[in-house]
Copies of this chain bind each other. A is one copy, B any other.
Amino acid sequence: MAAISAQDLLAQLQWRYATKEFDPAASIPADTWDALEQSLVLTPSSFGLQPWKFLVLTDPAKKEALLAHSWNQRQVVDCSHFVVFAAPSAIGNDTVQSWIDCLASSRDVPAESLHGYQRVMEGFLNQLDEQQRLAWAHRQIYIALGQLMTSAALLGVDACPMEGIVPAEYDRVLALSSRNLTTSVACALGYRADHDKHALLPKARFHRSEVIEHHA
C-alpha cells in the first residue's frame, strides 16, 4: 500500500536540489537523523552483501580537516551531518562469510543450510579481479546514496551529493586505508540557507522523451 501520494512524492523530488549553501546553525533533529541512518542501513544491495561503511561526521574539527580535500566546498563544514561512504578495498570469501553468518542468525537457521547461496556469491566475486570487485562495491554504494537522498527529500532534509572530493586524502585523514576501506563518495545533509540562490533555479533535466524509451 502506498504511504504517500504520487503528487506528494514528486513534489519532494522537485523540492530537493544539490544544496550549495547550508545554514550552519540548523541541525537535523535526532529522530530525523535516526531515520536517515536507518534508511542507509536498509539499502538494498546485490546479493544483500552491503559492501559499505557509512562515516557520519558532526565534529566541526573533523569536517574542517576534509574541507581542503573537497575543492573547498563549504557544504562540508556548514552542513549538519556529513556522510562519507567507504567501500571495502578487499572483498572476498570473508565478506561472504560475514553475510552468511548474519543471514543465518536473522533467519534462525544453521549457516550450513545457506551453503549453496554462499558458493554462488563466492563464484560471482571470484570471477572479478580486485579492481572489478571495488567497482561493483562503488555501484552498490551509489544505491545507498540514492536511497539516502530520496529519503532526505521526503523528510524535508536538504542534501548535497559530493563527488568533488579527493578520495585518497579522505582515506588518509580518516585513517581508512589501514582498515581496508576506501572513500567512494560523500553527502552533506542539513538545511538550506535562506540566501542560497541555487534553490530558486528551475530544475533542469533532459526531457523525459530523451531519457525514457518505451518498448510496449
Contact = CB atoms under 8 A, between A and B. Distances in A.
Q: How many copies does the complex hold?
A: 2
A54 B211 contact: yes
A212 B56 contact: yes
B54 A35 contact: no
Contact of A55 (B3, B140, B215): B215
A59 B215 CA distance: 6
A interface SS class = helix
Contacts of A50: 205-206, 211
A149 interface: yes
A130 to B, nearest CB: 14
A106 interface: yes
- How many chain A residues sit at the interface, stated as a range, is 35 or more
Interface string A66-108: 0000000000000000000000000000000011001100110
A69 to B, nearest CB: 15
A180 interface: no
Interface centre among A1, A31, A150, A201 (most CB of B within 10 A): A150
Contact of A202 (B107, B201, B207): B107
A145 interface: yes
A199 interface: no
Contacts of A144: 146
Nearest to A140: B142
A1 B139 contact: no
Contact of A6 (B2, B32, B46): B32
- The 6 A-B pairs at the shortest CB distance, nearest first, are namely A146-B146, A6-B35, A142-B142, A106-B204, A2-B156, A143-B146
Given A46-B161, A146-B146, 6 more contacts: A2-B154, A3-B9, A4-B155, A44-B161, A56-B215, A142-B143
